[in-house]
Amino acid sequence: MPTTHDQPRVPAHLTGIEDAVPGLAEHRAVTTLLNPRRGNPNEGQSSIGGPLRWPGDEPWPVCEDSHEDWLGVWDEADTHPLTHFGDVWTVRLAFANWNDVSEAILDKLRRYVTVAEVREAGPVPLIPVAQLRRQDVPDLPWPDDADLFQLLWCPMEHGSGGPAPVVRWRKAAEISGWGRADNPFAVADRRYVPWPCVLEPVRTVEYLPDAPGIAAALGSWSPLAPAWKAGGLRWWRTSEPECCDAPMLLTLTIGPGTPEAWFGAVPEEPDPAGVELGPGNNFALWRCAGDPAHVRLERALRHALPTIDASVTVPERLARAEEEIPGLAAHRGVATMLRPRPGEPGVRENSIGGPLLWPAHEPWPTCSEDHEAWLEFEANSPYPDGLPLDEMRGPIPLLPIAQLFRGDVPGFTGPDEADVMQVLWCPISHHMALWCPKVSVRWRRAAEITQVLEHPPTPPGMAGPYLPRPSLLSPERVVEYDAWGVPEGIRQEEIDWYEDGEKLGGFAGWSLSDPHPVHCACGSDVQLLMCIHGYDIDVTIGRGYSLWIWSCTTSWDHPVQTSMQ
């Protein structure tokens, strides 16, 4: 456990950065990463989702809100959006020491309850979220006379969405007796109920992302330490709330993330505490500088929320969705639909299945992974495709899939210095269970390519399902919503929240399996780079699914991840 005397640990990507960027030291902050590990914390320990050391003479707090703003939305609906708390909790305890139990599996075990049952259950007791001891977590903005911090919240939706927090700042030595916790009947979202975790706090340093010179020095590395963290700096685009006429103090940042990823290692479990308000969001808990009991919980985006302007199409079916569904706006995204149409694209055009702007001197990439499983399957197939299997035993040249230019495609993301994105794949089913091709992404500067490779090698005998029809593109930006991020009840509705088709950015649909988090091999979060749907380009992914391509949020150089839905 750290003490106030522990020196903060500096991650490799920030080592020496103050020498490289003059004046940066002023924008440095120290924070305590809570570093949760699933386990069985007791009342005396610092914990997330553990039992609180509660005074015997103090009633357990209940939420004052009637929650009717939110419950009312469901009166007319056939779905029962809330989950029985006892079920969630039983599962949490039963699997407390398992790191690899995914929420998707647990999804099968839950019971929904009706709005009527929730009303009947009456006032909602709060649930323990965190208990922190001053000697373990020195960087929380402690009031002078406190050495124990307790955070509880009401696991219903409030105001613009999210739980309602209550805190206690205590002196541990003054607590007498043993107060009993009460449990709520239901929760609005399972992800508001933390997995019980013990903490192994680590102090670290971080820098203001707006500090002059830092973006250039760090490239795509983050200057901000991940959640859960105490004190430190606010995440992207979080407002700075005020209370009692003064700015509030950032107390806790809550969300997925682990110290391992921050320090360059691969985490055992990317999100041990399992509290999240949809991909892309953290929670920030602020406390009043005057009265530390005044707190506010806000969404702190891990990415900027896109605005809807004249350049963005809002599909008819979603035109009134934000007005009608409280909190939905926070889950808004904009995808760039590529809208392919058959054509003969040139090397300096946006394309799917077209020729790539490839430097003449650069070797064409090949896939030298083991294709034996597929070759054997094909050789024994009762419906042979007539492929020259013998020629397909060596390394296979990759096939161009897409080429996009930053200037022509709104929503283009990539390394700052790149203005061309090239997607290629090995046109053989890898991962036999998934039946999808292996994807590789290249980033380039168009101006640097003067001599273009004229006759790139092609894979032998390609006529299969992974050869896209050459197509020109007419990109269009379209609003969509993160169907997995919106509160659980809402996503049961029969609305198409996202677009199907060849697209850049936006959100993944989960049609084939339950949603599950995708992570880079380095342990970082990923973002959706591109989706290949296939229908409009004569490609068949699996039995007509889509291929989702994810890029690492820590480095554009890390290999992309794929999933099929």
The residue ranges that bind Zn ion (CB under 5 A) are 63, 65, 154, 156, 164, 243-244, 288, 291, 294, 367, 369, 426, 428, 438, 520, 522, 524, 552, 554, 558
C-alpha 264/C-alpha 11 separation (Å) is: 7
> In this structure, are residues 468 and 538 in contact, taking their beta carbons and an 8 Å threshold?
yes
Cα→Cα distances 224→152, 245, 304, 471, 557, Å: 25, 28, 15, 41, 20
* Integer Rg of the chain from CA: 26
Tell the smallest beta-carbon distance from residue 265 to Zn ion (Å): 12
What does the alpha-carbon distance between residue 282 and residue 236 come to, in Å, rounded to a whole number? Answer: 10
Closer of 32 and 524 to Zn ion (Cβ): 524
3-state SS string for 420-489: EEEEEEEEEEECCCCCEEEEEEEEECHHHCCCECCCCCCCCCCCCCCCCCCEEECCEEEEEECCCCCCCC
> In angstroms, what is the minimal distance from the CB of 295 to Zn ion?
9
Classified as helix, coil or strand, 556 is coil
3-state helix, strand, coil in the chain (%, to 5): 15, 30, 55
Contacts of 521 (CB under 8 A, 6+ apart): 266, 558, 559, 561
Q: How far is the CB of 562 from Zn ion (least distance, A)?
A: 12
Minimal distance, residue 407 CB to Zn ion, in Å = 27
281-309 exposure pattern, b = at least 16 Cβ within 10 A, e = fewer: bbbbbbbbbeebeebbbbbbbbeebbeee
Q: Tell me how far, at minimum, the Cβ of 459 lies from Zn ion, in Å.
A: 9
What secondary structure letter does DSSP report for 314?
-
DSSP alpha helix (H) spans, 108-258: 115-121, 214-218
Q: Closer CB to Zn ion, residue 244 or residue 512?
A: 244
How would you classify the pairing of strands 202-207 and 82-84? unpaired
Of the two residues 539 and 552, which places its CB atom closer to Zn ion in the complex?
A: 552
Asked whether the CA dihedral 479, 480, 482, 487 is positive or negative, the reply is positive
Whole-number minimum distance, CB 122 to Zn ion, in Å?
12
Choose among 273, 161, 178: nearest CA to 226. Answer: 273
Least Å distance between CB 248 and Zn ion? 8
Cβ of residue 334: shortest distance to Zn ion, in angstroms? 24
Q: Is 142 helix (H, G, I), strand (E, B) or coil?
A: coil
Nearer to Zn ion, 369 or 448 (CB): 369
Structure-block tokens of residue 183: 């449990």
DSSP assignments along 494-532, one per residue: S---S--SSEEES-----SS-----B-TTS-BEEEEEEE
135 or 366: whose CB is closer to Zn ion?
Answer: 366
Of 63 and 490, which CB lies nearer to Zn ion in the complex structure?
Answer: 63
Give CA–CA dist 530/338, Å, rounded. 10
Q: Which is nearer to Zn ion, 123 or 410 (CB)?
A: 123
Distance of closest approach, residue 157 Cβ to Zn ion, in angstroms: 8
Please, what is the minimum distance in Å from the beta carbon of residue 233 to Zn ion? 21
Q: Which is nearer to Zn ion, 344 or 557 (CB)?
A: 557
The distance of closest approach from Cβ of residue 431 to Zn ion in the complex, given in angstroms and rounded to an integer, is 10
Looking at beta carbons only, is 522 or 541 nearer to Zn ion? 522
Question: Least distance to Zn ion from the beta carbon of 2, Å?
Answer: 27
Confirm if 466 and 439 have CB atoms less than 8 A apart.
Answer: no
Smaller CB separation from Zn ion, 25 or 293: 293
Measuring CA to CA, how many Å separate 438 from each of 364, 399, 560? 16, 10, 10
Residue 287 or residue 503: which is nearer to Zn ion going by CB? Answer: 287
CB of 363 to Zn ion, least distance (A): 16
> For residues 138 and 184, which CB has a smaller minimum distance to Zn ion in the complex?
184
Q: Residue 479's beta-bridge partner residues?
A: 334
Supply the DSSP symbol for 323: H
Please say which residue, 160 or 474, places its beta carbon nearer to Zn ion. Answer: 160
Any residues with CB less than 8 A from the CB of 428 and at least 6 apart, and which? 367, 371, 374, 392, 396, 437, 438, 466
